[in-house]
Amino acid sequence: MSAGIRVTVWNEGIHEKELPRCQAVYPDGMGKAIGQYLEQQSDIASVHYSELADPDQGLSDAILDNTDVMTWWGHTAHDKVTDANAERVQKRVLAGMGLIVLHSGHMSKPFMRLMGTGCFLKWREYGEDGEKERLWVVDPSHPIVDGVPEYIELPNTEMYGEPFGIPQPDQQVFISWFQGGEVFRSGCCWHREAGKVFYFRPGHETFPIYFNEHIRKVIHNAVRWAAPVRLADGFIQGNVQPLEKME
């Protein structure tokens, strides 16, 4: 990764156009809010912005060929992503691409395919101001929490609660406390064949969470953690000859 990590920020891009509260909070769009901190980092080679409305839904092979790690934000149009594109993203992850799934992306097609589970959860949008969330670090050895405080407090957010329909994470990094009485596994790592997936709960279209410095640091750390690894000569799956002499 000495040449730097090439990131694609995939953003549904609908709430920004249709929801005044979202426009007010994210005047340049949610994708930009997610990517602009990454653009400033020395280990990030490039940040490409893709949206659902783009040609090929922003998921062409040309774009994916230039993506080491993809972040994914979607909410209201998960079903608009074509099955072919969802499968393309899934296969890229299995071949090495990192995937950072944010907030309501838990029901996105690529994430659900990669998890193999329903990925559903409890949720609550409480009034205009939402409620308080506190993300506690439970694995202080994990590179994703480097430079992060022992908890991140978000005063206004939507609630997600357990049971969250996911496989037990390979590495559990954050667990959230919610004002209304629920908990949630809010930072979860999975290795999937040659690729890595991080689910990170924070973020909502009407709260300025992607401007929070700690949230940004976690996403940057996650991009670094999820960057592809390459075996020297790849690996073989298929019909093979014996390595040992057979009698």
Say if residue 99 is exposed, middle or buried (CB neighbours under 10 Å; 0-12, 13-18, 19+).
Answer: buried
Nearest to 206 by CA among 142, 99, 130, 138: 130
Distance, in Å, from the CA atom of 247 to the CA atom of 240, rounded to the nearest integer, reads 17
Least distance from a copy of itself to the Cβ atom of residue 134, Å? 6
With respect to a copy of itself, which residue has the nearer C-beta, 130 or 203? 130
Q: Which is nearer to a copy of itself, 182 or 205 (CB)?
A: 182
CB of 109 to a copy of itself, least distance (A): 12
Residue 124: strand pairing partners = 159
Taking the complex as a whole, the smallest distance from the CB of residue 28 to a copy of itself amounts, in Å, to: 28
Q: What is the DSSP string of 117-131?
A: S----EEE--TTT-E
Of 67, 61, 99, which Cα lies nearest the Cα of 195? 99
Of the pair 23, 41, the CB lying nearest a copy of itself is at: 41
Minimum gap (Å) between residue 183 Cβ and a copy of itself: 5
| Closest to a copy of itself by CB, 16 or 185 | 185
